[in-house]
Amino acid sequence: MAKKINKIRRVYLPIKEQNPEVPVSMRNIKILSEAGKIWVQPQGYGEKNARDGFGYPVSLEIWEGKLRLIIFDNINSEEPQIIDLENARESNRVEE
């Protein structure tokens, strides 16, 4: 019998500029795990149909057995970019 996943977990983490030639910039990130899906909300970023401060423009999920990344990369569009991550599986590595 499949285990029900319904506990909500939130984590808050800071991230910072990685290019040493650019002034230091930081953003707070909220990560939400809910119903077996992970949502990512960088401070000040969102999605079209969510009020400011409530949108999660990035998510990670399993759909039809495949891991995929969903990105709402335009605040004025309801259409996400969906990236299938199956080719990134370690088991797909080709030894040279």
**Does the global pTM surpass 0.85?**
no
- pLDDT for 3 equals 60
Q: What is the mean pLDDT of residues 51-74?
A: 97
- pLDDT for 66 equals 97
DSSP3 helix / strand / coil % (the chain, rounded to 5): 5, 40, 55
- pLDDT for 96 equals 86
- pLDDT for 5 equals 57
Contact 80, 49 (CB under 8 A): no
The answer on pLDDT for 33 being more than 90 is yes
- pLDDT for 39 equals 97
